[in-house]
Chains A and B, each alone.
Chain A
Amino acid sequence: MPETTLQTEPRLQEPDLFYKSLAQLHAGLTPEESLLVNSKLLLVLANHIGDHQVLLQAIDLVKSNVSTD
């Protein structure tokens, strides 16, 4: 598989632990603070990925994953 493809198969080594840490990051935060924390996390991860094509694919994935309400 070319490196510039977003990996969408399940890859997290510890999904529950990861989710718990993520949720804890938001514990007790106001919506505004949560938004800031999420943004920081996103930027850290994006920089780690680095690959522009992969990041754009991730953005597209989220764009097309419309919420159902």
Chain B
Amino acid sequence: MQRTYQYEVFPFRPSPEQRTGQVMRHPVIVVGAGPVGLTAANDLVRQGIPVVLLDEDDKVSLGSRAICFAKRSLEIFDRLGCVEPMRRKGITWNVGRVFFRDQEVYRFNLLPEEGHAHPAFINLQQYYLEEYLIQPLRDHPLADLRWRNRLVGLEPGEDHVHLTVETPEGVYETEAEWLIAADGARSTTRKLLGLDYEGRLFQEKFLITDVVMKTADFPTERWFWFDPPFNPGYSALLHRQADNVWRIDMQLGRHADVELEQRPERVLPRIRAMLGEDIDFELEWISIYSFHSRRMERFLHGRVLFVGDAAHIVSPFGARGANSGIQDVDNLIWKLKLVMEGKAGPELLESFNFERTRAAAENAFHTETSTEFISPDTPGQLALRNAVLELAREHEFARPLINSGRLSTATVVPDSPLNTPDRDPFTGGPIPGGPATDAPLTRAGEPTFLLKQLGYTFNGILFVERPEEIPEAMLADLQELAAQEVPIRTRIVAAQPPAQAELQGIPLFHDVAGLARERYAAQPGAFYLTRPDQVVCARWQRFQRNLVEQARDRAACLVR
């Protein structure tokens, strides 16, 4: 049925282990080339770490799965240099409409706040996203992509993991110092280690239909229905994707006949009733899903690190699946690198576990509350839900209670052991444990964005009125910090347009719109310290070298 996308078949090639008959020990093996494993592989090679990527399949994700990719994911892909094709192909929408029965409850306009490199999210089919993540790895000297390589055996060791891999040309053995398990909800790695995946299955079934819209000018809006006439008692969602494909999500209830409901003669009348008789479309994809909400207790097990659906799975309301997995990777790779280099202690990886289990709990909370709103369990809960919807039409106060999914945003971990708590007063700005905020800047007249200037190392953001006011001693400190073993590279953000592009090797930017200092609540002289994943770990209203070094040492769990 699927016509808009051509699946490339990635060729199986015998691995060096198979060619030589030798067991090799790789620094890092990633199992699973879904969006999360592919993000991990991109981050690793970008940071100069060779990666072996195993996947049992030889194509990108089949059919219709994830479509919404959030701002934080786009910022991560930007850092990894693969965001351009996603932005080109992806759809941005602003207007959302909510319907209850046969009436519109309200509409909202998500006009993006000015001065960010990326919108709140884009809609893009998962297979495109994976294709764009595979592209940079294809001929990368550090990336070894092994298609039709299935992990079937695992033996954890003290300082490595021993793997058994099955291929069309037989089984081979290999080893990794670190194993990143990105092998999805049914994770083989998890099963081979006998680890739990606690949570529950939601009984609700959802019919996913993708259609290619033939009628021109169908509005690019997100429509969500509660209890619509064409699907009484349940919900429905309509969302646009790339290639003029529209995703229709219909709740079918708990007792739906899965086989029957997928038949086109059953699906078509539903969709005609939904879109209107005069809308012309073609079926592109039909499938039925139910959802789990589960997670592992720990994501770190010796030399095995769990990320993405392998570690946690949520219902899709709010698009928190792939988006949170991508953030897992963003959090992990710089830590793994410092540990592999012997610079950081094992507590740094423990902080990955701390921060990302925290994020998983937050995502579970949001998706479960959305699920309760969309699919109430008892007559009392249904009445509450319907009361919200009926009130909301006339009364604005009820609108924040409407929950058709809370869109994925970056998790803030205020109590992370990596944070240095504020000593100086701040009236706003990203707090330690939260991601740095974007803002438009210029450098030598060229427009750029703050987040594009951060990443891969610790960074300092120094806010000044004009760069000439920076004392010589401070410049010397900043230069020395940039040359240390775990460097801190500072970017100077000046309120007044600087005359040059750098000052003694330190990049100089102009806060053209004044948004950087506003969003960081920064007085002249303020200094933010960010981790390689762009998370703020400390900040001061005045730069003091010893405090900055202490905060960096703490955030990197530096070995002394």
User: Which residues does A use to contact B, with CB under 8 Å?
Assistant: 32, 35-36, 38-40, 42-44, 47
- Residue-wise interface mask of B (362-385) relative to A, using a CB-CB cutoff of 8 A (1 in contact, 0 not): 000000000000000001100110
Query: What residues of A have a CB within 8 angstroms of the CB of B391 in the complex?
Result: 40, 43-44
| Residue contact A36 to B397, C-beta cutoff 8 Å | no
User: With contacts A43-B388, A43-B391, A44-B391 known, is A36 near B383, CB below 8 A?
Assistant: yes
| Residue contact B387 to A32, C-beta cutoff 8 Å | no
**Can you identify 29 A-B contacts, CB atoms within 8 angstroms?**
A32-B379, A32-B383, A35-B379, A35-B380, A35-B383, A36-B383, A36-B386, A36-B387, A36-B390, A38-B383, A39-B380, A39-B383, A39-B384, A39-B387, A39-B388, A40-B387, A40-B390, A40-B391, A42-B384, A42-B387, A43-B384, A43-B387, A43-B388, A43-B391, A43-B398, A43-B401, A44-B391, A47-B397, A47-B398
CA distance A47 to B390 in the complex (A): 15
CA distance A32 to B391 in the complex (A): 17
Nearest Cβ on chain B to A22's Cβ, whole angstroms: 16
Query: What residues of B have a CB within 8 angstroms of the CB of A42 in the complex?
Result: 384, 387
Nearest Cβ on chain A to B47's Cβ, whole angstroms: 43
CA distance A40 to B390 in the complex (A): 8
User: Which residues does B use to contact A, with CB under 8 Å?
Assistant: 379-380, 383-384, 386-388, 390-391, 397-398, 401
Query: What residues of B have a CB within 8 angstroms of the CB of A43 in the complex?
Result: 384, 387-388, 391, 398, 401
Query: What residues of B have a CB within 8 angstroms of the CB of A47 in the complex?
Result: 397-398
Query: What residues of B have a CB within 8 angstroms of the CB of A44 in the complex?
Result: 391
CA distance A17 to B91 in the complex (A): 56
Query: What residues of B have a CB within 8 angstroms of the CB of A40 in the complex?
Result: 387, 390-391
CA distance A10 to B81 in the complex (A): 65
* Majority secondary structure of chain A interface residues (helix, strand, loop or mixed): helix
Nearest Cβ on chain B to A12's Cβ, whole angstroms: 23
CA distance A42 to B388 in the complex (A): 10
Of listed B380, B387, B388, residue having the most chain A CB within 10 A: B387
Of listed A32, A38, A39, residue having the most chain B CB within 10 A: A39
Query: What residues of A have a CB within 8 angstroms of the CB of B401 in the complex?
Result: 43
| Residue contact B386 to A39, C-beta cutoff 8 Å | yes
Nearest Cβ on chain B to A49's Cβ, whole angstroms: 12
Nearest Cβ on chain B to A2's Cβ, whole angstroms: 24
Query: What residues of B have a CB within 8 angstroms of the CB of A39 in the complex?
Result: 380, 383-384, 386-388
Query: What residues of B have a CB within 8 angstroms of the CB of A38 in the complex?
Result: 383
CA distance A42 to B380 in the complex (A): 12
CA distance A40 to B380 in the complex (A): 12
Query: What residues of A have a CB within 8 angstroms of the CB of B383 in the complex?
Result: 32, 35-36, 38-39
CA distance A4 to B379 in the complex (A): 31
A33 (CB) vs chain B CBs: closest residue: B383
A32-B383, A43-B391 are known; give 15 further A-B pairs, CB within 8 A: A35-B380, A35-B383, A36-B383, A39-B380, A39-B384, A39-B387, A39-B388, A40-B387, A40-B390, A42-B384, A43-B384, A43-B388, A43-B401, A44-B391, A47-B398
CA distance A42 to B383 in the complex (A): 11
CA distance A42 to B384 in the complex (A): 9
Nearest Cβ on chain A to B485's Cβ, whole angstroms: 47
Query: What residues of B have a CB within 8 angstroms of the CB of A36 in the complex?
Result: 383, 386-387, 390
B390 (CB) vs chain A CBs: closest residue: A40
B401 (CB) vs chain A CBs: closest residue: A43
B379 (CB) vs chain A CBs: closest residue: A35
A31 (CB) vs chain B CBs: closest residue: B379
B381 (CB) vs chain A CBs: closest residue: A39
CA distance A43 to B511 in the complex (A): 45
CA distance A22 to B552 in the complex (A): 61
CA distance A43 to B390 in the complex (A): 11
B397 (CB) vs chain A CBs: closest residue: A47
A38 (CB) vs chain B CBs: closest residue: B383
Nearest Cβ on chain A to B226's Cβ, whole angstroms: 14
Query: What residues of A have a CB within 8 angstroms of the CB of B380 in the complex?
Result: 35, 39
Query: What residues of A have a CB within 8 angstroms of the CB of B386 in the complex?
Result: 36, 39
CA distance A47 to B380 in the complex (A): 19
The 4 closest A-B pairs by CB, nearest first: A39-B387, A35-B383, A40-B387, A47-B397
CA distance A68 to B386 in the complex (A): 30
Nearest Cβ on chain B to A58's Cβ, whole angstroms: 15
CA distance A15 to B135 in the complex (A): 72
Query: What residues of A have a CB within 8 angstroms of the CB of B397 in the complex?
Result: 47
Nearest Cβ on chain B to A67's Cβ, whole angstroms: 15
B384 (CB) vs chain A CBs: closest residue: A39
CA distance A36 to B389 in the complex (A): 11
Query: What residues of A have a CB within 8 angstroms of the CB of B388 in the complex?
Result: 39, 43
Nearest Cβ on chain B to A1's Cβ, whole angstroms: 26
Nearest Cβ on chain B to A48's Cβ, whole angstroms: 9
CA distance A35 to B386 in the complex (A): 10
Query: What residues of A have a CB within 8 angstroms of the CB of B384 in the complex?
Result: 39, 42-43
CA distance A47 to B398 in the complex (A): 8
Nearest Cβ on chain A to B398's Cβ, whole angstroms: 6
CA distance A59 to B97 in the complex (A): 32
CA distance A38 to B386 in the complex (A): 11
CA distance A43 to B383 in the complex (A): 11
